[in-house]
């Protein structure tokens, strides 16, 4: 038995833009539509729940709508149901690593735009390089400044080239 609060929290984690209660307030509906158009939809995929929560908070503060997935399988499921503007994928994950996840997402949605992240550059360097060869925009190494991630996501949404995005410092 789920409480209403549990269902709301789950819906928000799954990528819902927000929650509206009946009777609907037209100003609130218009506000949600404006928010969706200005921020865009981002998926954060990382097996570490704390990383997911942190990136969710950072991106939401900037006006993005954010969904989180703690596995490659969950990212695939959510991507099948949503059109994400940008997908952030941790490279080192159990069961399905970030490169495998990225490949599956590209098969599902060929125009997917991904940012790879990792805290293990030596261990997964080959996977990171391969993801870049296969059209991922860039790789960010943890810990990274939240502002850098926001610049990367903004630039991707603006249609900037991969070279411009890769060269962000």
Q: Tell me the pLDDT band of 16, cut-offs 50, 70 and 90.
A: low
Residue pointed to by tokens 């969706």: 36
Q: Tell me the pLDDT band of 37, cut-offs 50, 70 and 90.
A: low
Q: Which one-letter DSSP state was computed for residue 84?
A: -
Burial call 140-152: b when 16+ CB within 10 Å, e when fewer: beeeeeeeebeeb
For residue 169, the model assigns a pLDDT of: 61
Q: Over range 8-18, report the average pLDDT.
A: 70
For residue 1, the model assigns a pLDDT of: 58
Report the percent of the chain where pLDDT is more than 70.
Answer: 89
* Tens digit of each residue's pLDDT (9 = 90 or more) over 58-96: 999 888 989 999 999 999 999 998 889 999 999 999 999
The CATH number assigned to the domain with range 4-166 reads 3.40.50.2300
Q: Are 44 and 58 a contacting pair, CB within 8 Å?
A: no
Compute the mean pLDDT over every residue in the chain, rounded to the nearest whole number.
Answer: 88
Q: Is the pLDDT of residue 119 over 60?
A: yes
For residue 9, the model assigns a pLDDT of: 77
Strands of 21-164 (E only): list them.
41-45, 65-69, 86-90, 114-118, 138-141
For residue 39, the model assigns a pLDDT of: 66
Q: Over range 102-118, report the average pLDDT.
A: 95
For residue 166, the model assigns a pLDDT of: 75
Q: How does DSSP assign 114-128, residue by residue? A: EEEEES-HHHHHHHH
- DSSP-based three-state secondary structure for 44: strand
């Amino acid at each position: 038995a789920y409480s209403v609060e549990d269902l709301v929290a789950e819906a928000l984690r799954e990528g819902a833009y927000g929650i509206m209660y009946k009777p609907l307030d037209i100003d609130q509906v218009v506000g949600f539509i404006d928010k969706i158009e200005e921020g865009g939809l981002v998926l954060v995929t990382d097996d570490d729940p704390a990383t997911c929560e942190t990136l969710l908070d950072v991106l939401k503060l900037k006006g993005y709508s954010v969904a989180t997935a703690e596995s490659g399988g969950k990212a695939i499921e959510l991507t099948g149901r949503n059109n994400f503007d940008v997908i952030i994928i941790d490279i080192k994950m159990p069961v399905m690593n970030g490169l495998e996840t990225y490949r599956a997402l590209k098969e599902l949605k060929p125009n997917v735009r991904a940012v790879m992240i990792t805290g293990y550059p030596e261990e997964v360097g080959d996977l990171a390089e391969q993801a870049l060869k296969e059209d991922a925009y860039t790789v960010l190494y943890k810990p990274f400044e939240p502002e850098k991630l926001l610049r990367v996501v903004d630039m991707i949404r603006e249609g900037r080239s991969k070279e411009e995005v890769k060269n962000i410092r």
